[in-house]
Amino acid sequence: MLMPIKEFASRRNKLIGHMAPDSIAIIPSAPERVRNRDVLHPFRQDSDFFYLTGFDEPEAVLVLIPGREHGESVLFCKERNPEKELWDGYLTGPEGAIEKFGLDDAFPIVDIDEILPGMIEGRSRVYYPLGRDKAFDSQVMEWVQTIRSKVRTGAQPPGEFVALEHTLHDLRLYKSPAEIKVMAKAGEISAEAHCNAMKKAAPGVYEYQLEAELIHTFMTRGTRNTAYPSIVGGGRNGCILHYIENSAPLKDGDLVLIDAGCEVENYASDITRTFPVNGKFSEPQRALYEVVLSAQYAAIDAVRPGNHWNHSHEAALRVLTQGLIDLGLLSGSLEDALEQASYKPFFMHRTGHWLGLDVHDVGDYRVGEAWRLLEPGMVLTVEPGLYIAPDNTDVDEKWRGIGIRIEDDVVVTKDGCRVLSEGVPKTIDDIEALMAR
């Protein structure tokens, strides 16, 4: 692992520092999910649970208890079992959780119903992911019920149940130097994958064959998971924002839009590039592409401390809208077009989102009424686009069916930002040069 194990302990300690002294936090792992009959989906740990433990098994629960004498961080997990491990793979076990993952204390998950109510008892506030999973909500209530059934013996059930998200997700929003290193690695591998897909593109190649090229690079570089299903859309499929069928052959003269990123140690990367199937942009493609690229540069330029979350979206909107006017796709003045949001049929999403353990990462975008100010360590995507619907008869035919998005991952630094995904070209000259090789 690139991430030092001690970082997980320091995250737990930070969270404990934000908790009331007479409280307890309960954070479950992700469940295993059935794909069909005896086959499970590949396991992906819950991001909150992983952030606090680095522990990658299902059927585990992390409990944080400020001030507990025998250790504040307690893990319940599966016990080791040589016979089971022979079938399903290695287990860490409670002893291993303490030794390898630095938990203070650990117990077998089969004993949780017996042990956890005693840990909750006497604590007035319970933090947990309230309302996220019905089964876990009722599980927590069963543990509390066990305490309530003993009030006549003096047991004190908790009275307050508080969503854990607010505090925990604010911690997750600020990435440490170690996290940025991992995310830079993810950006580097994904950029290389995009380069390889560009080199593979040609008329007649199927969209899924470019997807295969991406996955091949991810796995060759040592990471098996994609952060989300890869989008490979040739021609008009590039206008479908979440196109994941990836089943069509690429056509001479079309663009292809690839939105794909790997995960490294569960941290996402999220890159989009749009390039010509035959290696050469046509005139209308070139004109629209230059507008999107200028918008992306303007949006990246707006990512710096002191600017707020929406500055980069506003910067992108101005350039995109002016570009649409200049090309005759919109009429009227820039201010009127912005005011009336007449760019909406061509640009219907936002310019980015937080990025981290989740591709659409946690963290508030507003504080009260105001947009959140950017601060060093925050990581976000910058992804303007233009999509001219194939059936838009209001515009000249030459524009129809062109979909373009350019997306990079950037981290806010002390005096601006750093692009984590710059290893894949995005200027027309650089793309054409790479594809000509």
Give the separation between CA 48 and CA 30, rounded to whole angstroms.
Answer: 10
For residue 325, the minimal CB distance to ligand GLY (Å) is 26
Query: Which partner in ligand GLY, Mn ion, none is near 263 (CB below 5 to 8 A by kind)?
Result: none
* Token pair in block for residue 108: 């077998």
Q: How far is the CB of 29 from ligand GLY (least distance, A)?
A: 25
* By CB under 5 A, residue 358 contacts Mn ion: no
259 binds Mn ion (CB under 5 A): yes
Structure letter (DSSP) for residue 280: -
Question: Residue 165 binds which one of Mn ion, ligand GLY, none, with CB within 5 to 8 A depending on kind?
Answer: none
- Which amino acid type is present at position 149? S
Minimum distance from CB of 302 to ligand GLY (Å)? 18
Of residues 202-241, which lie at the interface with ligand GLY (CB under 6 A)? 228
Cβ distance to ligand GLY smaller for residue 263 or 407: 407
Q: Are strands 370-371 and 231-234 parallel, antiparallel or unpaired?
A: unpaired
Partner from Mn ion, ligand GLY, none contacting 228, C-beta within 5 to 8 A by type:
ligand GLY
- When the beta carbons of 25 and 357 are compared against ligand GLY, the nearer one is 357
Least gap, CB of 322 to ligand GLY (angstroms): 24
How many of the chain's residues bind ligand GLY (CB under 6 A)? 7
Tell which one of 121, 179, 192, 270 touches ligand GLY (CB under 6 A).
Answer: 270
Q: Which of 211, 259, 361, 408 binds ligand GLY (CB under 6 A)?
A: 259
By CB under 6 A, what part of segment 406-425 binds ligand GLY?
A: 407
Contacts of 239 (CB under 8 A, 6+ apart): 233, 387, 388, 389, 390, 401, 402, 403
Buried b (16+ CB within 10 A) or exposed e, 206-228: ebebbbbbbbebbeebebebbbb
Residue 307 binds Mn ion (CB under 5 A):
no
Q: What is the rounded CA–CA span in Å between residue 185 and residue 267?
A: 10
Strands 125-128 and 23-28: parallel
* Helix residue ranges per DSSP H, 302-398: 311-326, 334-339
Contact call for residue 383 and ligand GLY (CB under 6 A): yes
Q: Copy the structure tokens of residue 97.
A: 């959780």
Q: Which is nearer to ligand GLY, 75 or 268 (CB)?
A: 268
Q: CA-CA distance, 412 to 404, in Å (whole number)?
A: 25
Tokens of 36: 């069909």
* Minimal distance, residue 223 CB to ligand GLY, in Å: 17
Q: Please give the Cα distance from 337 to 330 (Å, whole number).
A: 8
User: Encoding tokens for residue 361?
Assistant: 């990462």
List C-alpha distances in Å: 106 to 14, 74, 270, 302.
20, 5, 36, 47
Active site residues: 38, 242, 259, 270, 349, 353, 360, 383, 387, 405, 407
| Residue closer to ligand GLY, measured from CB, 207 or 259 | 259
Please select the residue that binds Mn ion; options are 256, 381, 403, 409, rule is CB under 5 A. Answer: 381
CA dihedral over 80, 82, 83, 88, signed as positive or negative: positive
Which residues is 60 bridged to in the sheet? Answer: none
Between 47 and 139, CB nearer to ligand GLY: 47
Q: Rank residues 165 and 407 by Cβ distance to Mn ion and give the closer one.
A: 407
- Does residue 361 interact with Mn ion by CB under 5 A? no
Instruction: State in angstroms the smallest separation of the CB of 226 from ligand GLY.
Output: 10
Residues lying near Mn ion in the complex (CB under 5 A) are found at 259, 270, 381, 407
User: Which residues lie near ligand GLY (CB under 6 A)?
Assistant: 228, 259, 270, 353, 359, 383, 407
